[in-house]
A and B are shown apart, each in its own frame.
Chain A
Amino acid sequence: MSRARADEEEYWHSSKFRAFTFDDEDDELSQLKESKRAVNSLRDIVDDDDDDLERVSWSGEPVGSISWSIKETASSSTSSLEGRDSSLQKGSSSYAAFPKQVSSYSLSSLFKGRNKLPSFQSLSDALSDTGVKNYAPELRRPKAEYKDYSSDWSPKDTVRRMQRGKICSLERFRSLQDKLVLLDEAVAGHDGNVITAVLIFLKRTLRREILFRELEVRQVALCHLIHFLKETGEQKLLLDLLRFLDRTEEVALSQYREHLNIQDVEKRREFLKGCIGLPFSAEDTSHIQDHYTLLERQIIIEANDRHLETAGQSEIFRKYPRKASILNMPLVTTLFYSCFYHYTEAEGTFSSPTNLKKTFKIPDKQYVLTALAARAKLRAWDDVDALFTTKNWLGYTKKKAPIGFHRVVEILQRNNAPVQVLQEYVRLVEDVETRLNLGTKYKCHDVVIETYKDLKDRIQLTAYKCRVDRGSAEEEKINSILNN
């Protein structure tokens, strides 16, 4: 653990939490090692050819399990049939089974009214070259069968039958009253499948305003219809419905969501522009505005930088070719990008970090963190230095960081900053304990030595001697302090 042990201990003792730690008397780690050792030593005794309880392939799938078998049978399935001229054999047996497919005619009556071709047409198309003609047109089903379906089921019975997966015609529910009773029955049954089926029927047979009006007082059914419209992507009807219900924020979000389906950035930008005026909550409106502005910005930056990169005249792009386009990246990523490639630009340009900071009101903390990470990655230590240097009106300089210098140190360290750079900032860490820990961890000896000196801690200073190289300048320094 890198965090100061002492810190932690104090924390856990002073607060009422129990730490989730492992350093009880019975050290867990040693216990694990112990059982590991035992397991290993046993391997010599039992020469094991994995005859475990079940046969298991390496991936752990028991041999014979379903997912294992899918792989097995799939790989062994070679085309035994392919190449054989199958068109010659007009397998009468399989066509004989054909009329069976007609078993659930009345379902179609449920879903009629869409302007697509009925299913049979396409199937018959597919079959036509085989010369089979015994398919029945959809409407001419046997009378007896027809009768059965149109028999007088009450709304309750109809719903019950549908719940059991049986087929029922809904066509006989003609009056609005009947339809609504049917809907209420379906809702009372809680089976979403049946509710949706009834809704599809109502959607087809009722005028839109009436449907909307009736659903407004039937919240459960309403939710199902909204869900259904989302699933099937009937965006226009969905928006109409939400508007009717005055659920304006939902309309806005639902419409905004559409931008994800637009691949072309120019079109996406245009679309987002249109979203700004939508009735979002006040807070969300500003986010949507920002989203649009950001994409607009990114398009400009992208065009510019792609040009620079291909021209090959900009050193930074030659040295660090871009890995991906900046389009559609989050704001903070964009800021990082601009701190990386466009750090020195004047505030007037769209790609300058300061401009981004201003336009999007990026908080200081966020800005400094991002800039620091970008400049450290480029090993531009002077920029890093400037980031934390402030001048007061007398011209004195002072180091200040909105994020705490221990964080600065961590970020620099992650970017492999040399010790000379690191120790600058370790020195600035206010908390003595943290400073000592960071100094020790990253071998910033000078800082550690000076801190102990200030603390007048001879014991620690003496102990620290073993951390520095023998005969080094640091050792000498320690000795001279101790001798004074």
Chain B
Amino acid sequence: MAAHLSSGRVNLTALREAGRRELREFLDKCAGSKAIVWDEYLTGPFGLIAQYSLLKEHEVEKMFTLKPGRLPPADVKNIIFFVRPKLELMDIITDNVLREDRGRSPQRDFHILFVPRRSLLCEQWLKEQGVLGSFIHREQYSLDLIPFDGDLLSMESESAFKECYLESDQTSLYHAAKGLMTLQALYGTIPQIFGKGECARHVANMMIRMKREFPGSQNSIFPIFDTLLLLDRNVDLLTPLATQLTYEGLIDEIYGIQNTYVKLPPEKFAPKKQGEGGKDLPTEPKKLQLNSAEELYAEIRDKNFNAVGSVLSKKAKIISAAFEERHHAKTVGEIKQFVSQLPHMQAARSSLANHTSIAELIKDITTSEDFFDNLTVEQEFMSGIDTDKVNNYIEDCIAQKHPLIKILRLVCLQSVCNSGLKQKVLDHYKREILQTYGYEHILTLNNLEKAGLLKPQTSGRNNYPTIRKTLRLWMDDVNEQNPNDISYVYSGYAPLSVRLAQLLARPGWRSIEEVLKMLPGPHFEERQQLPTGLQKKRQHGENRVTLVFFLGGVTYAEIAALRFLSQMEDGGTEYVIATTKLINGTSWIKSLMDKLEPAPF
């Protein structure tokens, strides 16, 4: 079930186990049979921690989705709400509780489990509605960092960037620090902390403070991580705006990966047996889980999409050959051996079939004219061409009313690559956007401006070319098939964030002081004392382990680039990645858009 979590350098199964234990303990507090009412957003992340069977072992008999109205009449002793601390959810819960039939017997007890934290604000809200007293247990389940894969952790906090950079609400940073404390409790104190950005500074401060305040946390576990690197998303606003060109990145760009699952159009996954096809083509989307438990996926996900086809065809040949073996199996022993391999071969075959279909779906899009044009403009901007005037393609897209998010991604990209747009250019874009998509989007444009994504060039100086050259962000000779540099993940552009991680490992940040000063926020280094005896004595040739924490989100292409660095033969560093949320340009911009419809309540 979770074997892929232990495949990496750090065994993340332990973290998952800790999560499961806490969940069991809470369930056992509510004695007797229970029904769980789920905030739908949470089922995905919880699914990565536990299956229904675990809940069932602890007398969870029914599960419902949270929605207004009367609760379903399940015959259980306890009703437990699993919710994020959000006011609109509190309103639904209030409705549920008020409509509960007081006369029913036996009466059902109510409890709330806040994920990841209890919120006094929410409890006050419930109190004002007059239902707070109806809950026997009100507790929190600190699902701070959820293991997604052997080298990947996420808090899945979708509004973290918006809260940190737009609303200056640092609660998600507090959770990040909490999550890091949990990690240190399990994997030892991390001796070195580096960081860049305001939020990084805050998180480091909180960690140091927490450590001081809970001296009990001084543990005697041999440290597994050598270094922690905290990076603010707003140090690198550019990378998420560009279209990711790795296999996994493209799947996410086009279909959106949620909690390791992706929903795909069903046509390409039609029923397998010929003759049956056609009559009942599935209309529901096909849902697949994507993680390193699947051998083939682990191999291709971080490749540039242009290199995926050749791997798939190679695999096809190998599998075909393996099946051919059956003709050569003569003796009973040989046949037996063939049969024993069948399950593995079947799994490999179905995995190959799925990824061939996905690759075809993606290819339809990447070969379209519009994808090509869009990418051309992105690459022009990133390499510094014509970033200071109104772009024709963007204008055309507005005229043809392409999705607003696409327009915003491009305009923001241009702005970031030009250290802000000339006032005249900015005004022109704004006007076109408002006239075509509606004046109310003035609110969204304002948010983008506040977040620094879309702004007028104030200093009159464009720093981007210097940053680009010093950090070698644009590589002309990119090799997509057999990459020798991280720039392969965007077919030319090397993600700034990952470049910073790479340069930190070697030769160190001292070599790029000047550029670091141009990027927002402070950069710093902290050391955490280890008790004697726990100091690491590295074996010759043993790699260092660095945890890179992206505050405000990380893209799959950046993850791919870090994995590429981990695998470099003379790299010397292996990376584990943590983040507040897995993002792409679209989901990111969306999180910053002003919600234009009033809430349903």
A residues contacting B by CB (< 8 A) are 1-3, 8, 16-22, 24, 26, 28-29, 31-32, 34-39, 41-43, 45-46, 48, 51-53, 58-62, 64-70, 73-74, 77, 79-82, 84, 86-91, 93-95, 97, 100-102, 104, 107-108, 110-111, 114, 116-123, 126-127, 129-130, 160, 162, 165, 188-194, 196-197, 200, 219-220, 223-224, 226-228, 231-232, 253, 256-257, 259-261, 283-284, 287-288, 290-291, 294, 328-332, 360, 362, 365-366, 369, 407
Contact = CB atoms under 8 A, between A and B. Distances in A.
Contacts of B309: 22, 26, 28-29, 31-32
Given A193-B171, A330-B436, A77 B598 contact: no
Which of B52, B126, B478: most chain A CB closer than 10 A? B52
A290 B121 contact: no
A224 B171 CA distance: 10
Given A20-B366, A190-B177, A290-B439, 17 more contacts: A1-B368, A8-B372, A21-B372, A32-B363, A38-B317, A60-B263, A60-B287, A67-B44, A69-B55, A80-B73, A91-B107, A114-B128, A121-B130, A220-B168, A231-B121, A332-B435, A365-B395
Contacts of B211: none
A361 to B, nearest CB: 9
B61 interface: yes
14 contacts: A17-B383, A22-B366, A22-B367, A32-B363, A34-B316, A69-B55, A70-B43, A70-B64, A79-B73, A94-B106, A119-B127, A260-B596, A283-B427, A330-B437
Contacts of B336: none
A80 B130 contact: no
Given A165-B140, A197-B121, A227 B167 contact: yes
Contact of A31 (B104, B169, B310, B373): B310
B383 A35 contact: no
B359 interface: yes
Interface in B146-182: 163, 167-171, 173-174, 177
B353 interface: yes
Contacts of B53: 64
Interface string B271-304: 0110000000010111111000000000000000
A16 B440 CA distance: 40
Contact of B289 (A39, A60, A121): A60
Given A39-B353, A66-B63, A93-B106, A86 B261 contact: no
B47 interface: yes
A110 B130 CA distance: 15
Given A111-B127, A120-B133, A196-B120, A287 B46 contact: no
A223 B168 contact: yes
A22 B305 CA distance: 10
Nearest to A117: B130
Contacts of A288: 439, 442
A123 B127 CA distance: 11
B335 to A, nearest CB: 14
B471 to A, nearest CB: 18
B44 to A, nearest CB: 7
Interface of B: 38, 43-44, 46-47, 50-53, 55, 61-65, 72-75, 85, 87, 101-107, 109, 117-121, 123-128, 130-136, 138-140, 163, 167-171, 173-174, 177, 202, 205-206, 209, 213, 245, 261, 263, 272-273, 282, 284-289, 306, 308-310, 312-313, 315-317, 319-320, 323, 326, 342-343, 345-347, 349-350, 352-353, 356-357, 359-360, 363, 366-369, 371-373, 375-376, 379-380, 383, 395-396, 399, 401, 427, 430-432, 434-440, 442-443, 446, 476, 478, 480, 491-492, 594, 596-598
Contacts of B46: 66
B352 A227 contact: no
Contacts of B316: 34-35, 37-39
A162 B120 contact: yes
Nearest to B431: A287
- Chain A binding surface, main DSSP class: helix
Contacts of A20: 245, 306, 366, 371-372, 375, 491
Q: Which 10 A-B pairs have the closest CB atoms?
A: A60-B287, A192-B171, A38-B316, A223-B168, A122-B130, A86-B105, A291-B439, A35-B316, A28-B309, A69-B52
B434 A223 contact: no
Contact of A1 (B171, B367, B383): B367
Contact of A127 (B102, B315, B371): B102
B277 to A, nearest CB: 12
A165 B64 CA distance: 27
Contacts of A197: 120-121
B102 A130 contact: yes
B436 A332 contact: yes
Contacts of A228: 121
Contacts of A104: 138
A34 B213 CA distance: 62
Contacts of B61: 73
Contacts of B168: 219-220, 223-224
B34 to A, nearest CB: 11
A191 B171 contact: yes
Given A42-B319, A65-B47, A66-B51, A31 B312 contact: yes
B430 to A, nearest CB: 7
Nearest to A295: B439
Nearest to A414: B400
A64 B73 contact: no
A119 B169 CA distance: 29
A86 B286 CA distance: 44
A481 B395 CA distance: 42
Contacts of B52: 64-66, 68-69
A475 to B, nearest CB: 31
A32 B436 contact: no
A89 B347 contact: no
A129 B75 contact: no
B417 to A, nearest CB: 15
Contacts of A59: 284-287
B102 A366 contact: no
Contacts of B438: 328-330
Given A26-B310, A38-B320, A108-B127, A58 B284 contact: yes
Contact of A46 (B73, B263, B346, B366): B346
Given A32-B312, A294-B439, A190 B174 contact: yes
Contact of A101 (B133, B171, B273): B133
A38 B312 CA distance: 10
Contact of A53 (B103, B347, B369): B347
Contacts of B261: 60
B102 A126 contact: yes
Contacts of B104: 81, 86
Contacts of A253: 442-443, 446
Contacts of A231: 87, 121
A227 B171 CA distance: 12
Contacts of B312: 31-32, 35
Nearest to B202: A190
Contact of A3 (B63, B139, B369): B369
B22 to A, nearest CB: 13
Contacts of B135: 101
Nearest to B399: A369
B369 A87 contact: no
Given A86-B105, A190-B170, A74 B439 contact: no
Contacts of B371: 20
Given A39-B356, A190-B202, A332-B435, A22 B47 contact: no
B138 to A, nearest CB: 7
Given A31-B309, A107-B123, A220 B170 contact: yes
Contacts of A8: 372
Contact of A116 (B128, B315, B396): B128
A223 B124 CA distance: 20
